[in-house]
Amino acid sequence: MLRRIAFLTMTLLVTLGVLSLHGNPISSAAEIDDIKAKIKKHEAEADEAVKEFEAIQSWEDTARKEILEAKAKVDLLEEKEDKLTELVRRRAIEMYKGSGDPLSLSFLTSDAADITEYDRRTTYLETVIKSDTDTLGEYTRVKEELRVIKKVNLARQKELAQARKNLERESQRIKENLAAAKKEYAKIQGNEYNYYGRIPIEGRYCPVNGPVSFIDSWGFARSGGRRHKGVDMMSPHGTPLVAITSGVIDRIGNGGLGGITFWLRGDDGHSYYYAHNSRNTVVKGQRVIAGQLLAYVGNTGNARSTAPHVHFEIHPNGGRAVNPYQWVRPLCRQ
């Protein structure tokens, strides 16, 4: 009996010791549901920030393109203005000197053998006057167009500077909400109700194993006149990225717009692209199973100035990219 009491006492002490190490554990379904609701709330607020972020980024990329196009037009117009200025200057000198100038009266009357010659010179005179008038008109138009373009460009550059501030603000809002969601998740991590152990659908897993926020940004404007061909899934830096399905790592990349990247050739015949990773944990040719850790969320490549995220693409049967939003929405929003 004494041995049994001692054993039970030791078991109780060990249990209490474990609890003291891990704090007050979340155990009831009601508590877990409450935490899940908080996580969803933070992710929904992050989604609103992502909407603003994507809209600003799209506008920013379009504005940058317009500014570059306007600058190129200004360069051409300034070159044209220089030529017209020189042409006007030469005509003014010729008219001032008067000798041999078709606008002088002597040009019409001297050595005119007959009325036909006089008419020919009159016609020529009208052509010269029209040419000079057109030149002066063109000169005036070019100068006015230059003035307007430069004014609009200056205003657009100011708007662009403000857009950059707004982009940083929304990026911070995304980070804060996802960090809050991650903090809530930590309270139930490892519990049997593990929130981010999302249920796979038809063998596919959400690519981001953690708090995530995204919208349908397919076709949004991107730098260099490009269009967005994927979905940007925002998540805290270092969040695990997992295999959406089983397959083989087809390619590994490090550089360019995507930064640290990889391609997964799925057993389903489709190809999946993960970009801007902070670190990959797989190598080319490696076989992976659905849900396996492949990399971590980052902001490498051209995403250095944005919130951490994975740019995710789906290429059915290895062909052109299709909008992945409808694919990942049910996987990641359960």
The pLDDT score that the predictor gives to residue 183 is 87
Rounded distance between C-alpha atoms, residue 177 and residue 173, angstroms: 6
Rounded distance between C-alpha atoms, residue 300 and residue 255, angstroms: 8
Provide the domain count of the chain: 2
| C-beta contacts of 116-121 below 8 A and 24+ residues apart | none
Cβ-contact 235, 271 below 8 angstroms: no
Tokens of 57: 């980024």
For residue 299, what are the domain limits? 199-334
- Provide mean pLDDT across the span 283-294: 96
Q: Which of 75-84, 192-201, 255-264, 266-275 has the lowest average pLDDT? A: 192-201
Q: In what side-by-side order are the strands of the sheet with 240-242?
A: 240-242, 293-296, 279-280
- Do 165 and 203 share a domain, yes or no? no
What proportion of the chain, given as a percentage, has pLDDT over 90? 34
**CATH number for the domain harbouring residue 221:** 2.70.70.10
Which amino acid would we find at residue 292? Q
Q: Which of 48-52, 59-63, 121-125, 181-185 has the lowest average pLDDT? A: 121-125
The pLDDT score that the predictor gives to residue 132 is 61
Q: Please tell me which of 45-54, 102-111, 113-122 the model is most confident about, judged by mean pLDDT.
A: 45-54
Tokens of 301: 């490549």
The pLDDT score that the predictor gives to residue 16 is 37
Q: 3-state class of 137 per DSSP?
A: helix
Domain-embedded: residue 4: no
Confidence of residue 329 (pLDDT cuts 50, 70, 90): very high
The pLDDT score that the predictor gives to residue 128 is 58
- Do 171 and 218 share a domain, yes or no? no
Cβ-contact 228, 248 below 8 angstroms: no
Integer CA distances (angstroms), 180 to 38, 124, 245, 257, in order:
9, 82, 29, 29
**Residue 20 pLDDT > 50:** no
Confidence of residue 283 (pLDDT cuts 50, 70, 90): very high
- Enumerate the β-bridge partners of residue 226: 222
- Domain end residue (candidates: 172, 195, 218): 195
| Single pTM value for the model | 0.63
Which amino acid would we find at residue 143? K
